[in-house]
Chains A and B, each alone.
Chain A
Amino acid sequence: MGVPRLTGPQPVPEQAVAVHTATHSQALIHAGDSRRADAAFFYAMLACGCSVLALVGLIVYELITKSSLSWHAFGWKFFFRSDWDPVNDQFGALPFVYGTIVSSILALLIAVPLAVGVAVYITEMAPRWLRGSLAFTTELLAAIPSVIYGLWAIFVLVPLLRQYLQPWLAKYLGWTGLFEGPPYGIGMLAAGIILAVMVVPIVSSITREVMTAVPQQQREAVLALGATRWEMIRTGVLRNARAGIMGGVILGLGRALGETMAVTMVIGNRPEIAKSLFAPGYTMASVIANEFSEATGDLYLSALVEVGLALFLVTIIVNIVAQLLVWTVTRGTPARSHA
């Protein structure tokens, strides 16, 4: 890298100092100390770098040691039992696992078509002057804090669901069994919808990124064959970007799984497994948020930390898979298209 290695204190000839400007001579005079200072600086920066490793190590260590009590008491069965009874020290995390999975999948079902639609519009259809501001506006959705989404959901979304959407769903789709029971407004459906709003900006910004990475010649080639714009987007762009889009979707899943506040405020917080989306539920993140600070008893606390450990491991795996998928597209090697 062409870094000069000075061997030690070097005598500066007086004449040389005289012709140099002040800054130059100063740098040369101090050059002798630079070796020790360089080493000190290097180790300081290395320590900062290592702190990132240390933080993740610390998270893993804390979660594992603090959850060992519950792990030893229940083992794997912890995740397959559905009783959550702090009074009798019986803990099973199945309702939370179920709530987390269902609310996240519901969110993705709503968010992914919308997010891909937005990304397609911004990168392929919108007039050039509109692209920047539209992209900024959708990204603004990601800047709104979770607790504000929760506030809005409680006072605006939930009443809307209760009065309009839920009666309508119950009337026309009630036979599926997914939309049964009293329309409280609060419940799994509300959680899924507010999560969808929060996931859209992530999925759409990754989708835009991978779509932009598809070479322009692809589009021109498909258009030259006489394709309509949609056919060009489908065969020339989406097909090449699909691994990356999948990565974006999984990244969105990672966000939805770990999202806490907005979900806690509207999901109803009842550890039950119900088929109907109208019914209240509970998620892994929200049970920690609600019960951690008032958990009495070591086993209770330990069980909550174990829920946290499971959530941590799942989100980490999901995020790593997502990163790998996005890289396959943006790292200059477009996924092979099977035409």
Chain B
Amino acid sequence: MPEKTMLPADFSDAPISLWRRGLNFLVSAAAIGAVVVVLMPLGAVFGYLIYKGIGSINWAFLTQIPKPPGEAGGGMANAIAGSVYILLIASSMGVPLGIGAGIYLSEYGRGTRFGNLIRFTADVLNGVPSIIVGIVAYGLVVLTQGHFSALAGGVALAIMMVPTITRTTEEMLLLVPQAVREAAYGLGVSRWRTTLSITLRTATSGVITGVMLAFARVAGETAPLLFTAFGNQYWNWKLEQPTAALSLQIFTYAISPFDEWHRQAWAGALILIVLIVTSVGAVRLVANRGMLKGAN
């Protein structure tokens, strides 16, 4: 092909070797295979939860407290309520702290060395294993009070919520254009008022996303509650008493030798996952409506 030598750049007719094409095909197949393998446990977990859980959820399960081992019937009403109770305690401490730290990072600590230190520390805190947080809450609250309590469980979960909320709040506030703040200052609005009623208000849906993510993350936590909230077979609404939690109850029932309890563990797990998926779904809904409503 003498005329081809005139066009050295044109390789469009050059055949790609069988080996290269084969390898390309194999890798594509492997990638698709990986997706299938990863989706399998997801399908299996949700499938089993629904299959095993739905049959065991009934009115008694939702309204009664556990029966003694071996006896049929009973439910997890106290554990469901206990989980909500502990999460409320945790949120009441963790949410304001986290949002406050986020405000500090974005409004005052931007680019400063101290701000970077706090940001870095928040990331470190985010990576602390949950069981370690449990030990610390045990030392802080349980040892001081003298017994396991709902408060200790709440403190443990609050510690885990803070870094997530801090970082998302900061990111969301940074998205608010500087001009919005300046417009407020220009009207003579004080700085704190601007931060709360203009900046934070503008980023509300983003901040709520962060709070819900933190909530979903700690809602299913078990390890930090093992020796803080401890669990309880009865109702408890006292701050300083051991309290049942859904995740603890699932753990206890799952490793027990009773079929009746295994059945209830599945039902409890289904309720827990519904709680979490609803909050994550709500996050997606809020997030899709736009991080910054009214920024423009």
A residues at B contact (CB < 8 Å) = 1-4, 6, 24, 27-28, 30-31, 33-35, 37-38, 40-42, 44-53, 55-56, 58-59, 62-63, 66, 113-118, 120-122, 125, 134, 136-138, 140-141, 143-152, 154-156, 197, 200, 204, 226, 228-231, 233, 254, 257-261, 265, 285, 288-289, 292-293, 305, 308, 311-312, 315-316, 318-320, 323
Known: A49-B101, A117-B34, A226-B11. A285 touches B185 (CB 8 A): no
Known: A113-B34, A121-B31, A121-B32. A147 touches B247 (CB 8 A): yes
What are 13 pairs between A and B in contact, CB < 8 Å? A34-B190, A34-B191, A52-B122, A52-B163, A59-B132, A141-B41, A145-B276, A146-B221, A154-B255, A200-B38, A226-B14, A289-B131, A316-B128
Known: A152-B45, A231-B20. A59 touches B133 (CB 8 A): yes
A3 & B121 in contact (Cβ 8 Å cutoff): no
B133 & A114 in contact (Cβ 8 Å cutoff): no
When C-beta atoms are compared, the residue in chain A nearest to B30 turns out to be: A117
Is B250 close to A, CB under 8 A? Answer: yes
B contact residues around A316 at 8 Å (CB): 124, 127-128
Q: How many B residues have CB within 8 A of the partner chain?
A: 100
A257 to B103 alpha-carbon distance, docked (Å) = 32
B contact residues around A30 at 8 Å (CB): 190
Is B6 close to A, CB under 8 A? Answer: no
A145 & B220 in contact (Cβ 8 Å cutoff): yes
When C-beta atoms are compared, the residue in chain A nearest to B223 turns out to be: A260
A155 to B264 alpha-carbon distance, docked (Å) = 13
A contact residues around B129 at 8 Å (CB): 257-260, 285, 311-312, 315
Stretch at the interface among B62-70, B136-144, B201-209: B136-144
B100 & A151 in contact (Cβ 8 Å cutoff): no
B135 & A254 in contact (Cβ 8 Å cutoff): no
B contact residues around A27 at 8 Å (CB): 187-190, 193
Q: How would you classify the secondary structure of chain B's contact residues: helix, strand, loop or mixed?
A: helix
**B123: contacting residue among A51, A53, A323, CB under 8 A:** A323
B135 & A228 in contact (Cβ 8 Å cutoff): no
A63 & B135 in contact (Cβ 8 Å cutoff): yes
B contact residues around A41 at 8 Å (CB): 191-192, 195-196
A228 & B20 in contact (Cβ 8 Å cutoff): yes
A121 & B34 in contact (Cβ 8 Å cutoff): yes
B125 & A151 in contact (Cβ 8 Å cutoff): no
B103 & A48 in contact (Cβ 8 Å cutoff): yes
B118 & A146 in contact (Cβ 8 Å cutoff): no
A42 to B194 alpha-carbon distance, docked (Å) = 12
When C-beta atoms are compared, the residue in chain B nearest to A148 turns out to be: B269
Within 8 A of A (CB), among B100-153: 100-101, 103-105, 107-109, 115, 117-118, 121-125, 127-136, 138-140, 148
**A52: contacting residue among B14, B41, B121, CB under 8 A:** B121
Q: What's the minimum C-beta distance from A134 to chain B, rounded to whole angstroms? A: 7
**B104: contacting residue among A33, A48, A55, A228, CB under 8 A:** A48
**A285: contacting residue among B42, B131, B138, B273, CB under 8 A:** B131
Is B166 close to A, CB under 8 A? Answer: yes
Q: What's the minimum C-beta distance from B256 to chain A, rounded to whole angstroms? A: 11
B contact residues around A50 at 8 Å (CB): 118
Is B28 close to A, CB under 8 A? Answer: yes
B contact residues around A62 at 8 Å (CB): 135-136, 139-140
A265 & B216 in contact (Cβ 8 Å cutoff): no
B contact residues around A122 at 8 Å (CB): 35
Known: A41-B192, A58-B140, A145-B219. A117 touches B31 (CB 8 A): yes
Known: A45-B103, A49-B118, A261-B222. A288 touches B269 (CB 8 A): no
B138 & A319 in contact (Cβ 8 Å cutoff): no
A149 to B222 alpha-carbon distance, docked (Å) = 12
A contact residues around B135 at 8 Å (CB): 62-63, 66, 288, 292, 305, 308
A265 to B222 alpha-carbon distance, docked (Å) = 12
A contact residues around B177 at 8 Å (CB): none
B contact residues around A288 at 8 Å (CB): 131, 134-135
**A311: contacting residue among B45, B132, B216, B219, CB under 8 A:** B132
Is B44 close to A, CB under 8 A? Answer: yes
A293 & B227 in contact (Cβ 8 Å cutoff): yes
B contact residues around A35 at 8 Å (CB): 190
A contact residues around B99 at 8 Å (CB): 48
A contact residues around B133 at 8 Å (CB): 59
A49 & B222 in contact (Cβ 8 Å cutoff): no
A292 & B121 in contact (Cβ 8 Å cutoff): no
Q: What's the minimum C-beta distance from B235 to chain A, rounded to whole angstroms? A: 21
A contact residues around B239 at 8 Å (CB): none
Q: What's the minimum C-beta distance from A230 to chain B, rounded to whole angstroms? A: 4
Is B266 close to A, CB under 8 A? Answer: yes
Q: A27, A228, A229 — which one has the most chain B CB atoms within 10 A of its CB?
A: A228
Q: What's the minimum C-beta distance from A32 to chain B, rounded to whole angstroms? A: 10
Is B7 close to A, CB under 8 A? Answer: no
**A144: contacting residue among B45, B139, B265, CB under 8 A:** B45
B contact residues around A150 at 8 Å (CB): 251, 254
A46 & B185 in contact (Cβ 8 Å cutoff): no
**A53: contacting residue among B48, B121, B134, B136, CB under 8 A:** B121
B contact residues around A116 at 8 Å (CB): 34
A308 to B104 alpha-carbon distance, docked (Å) = 31
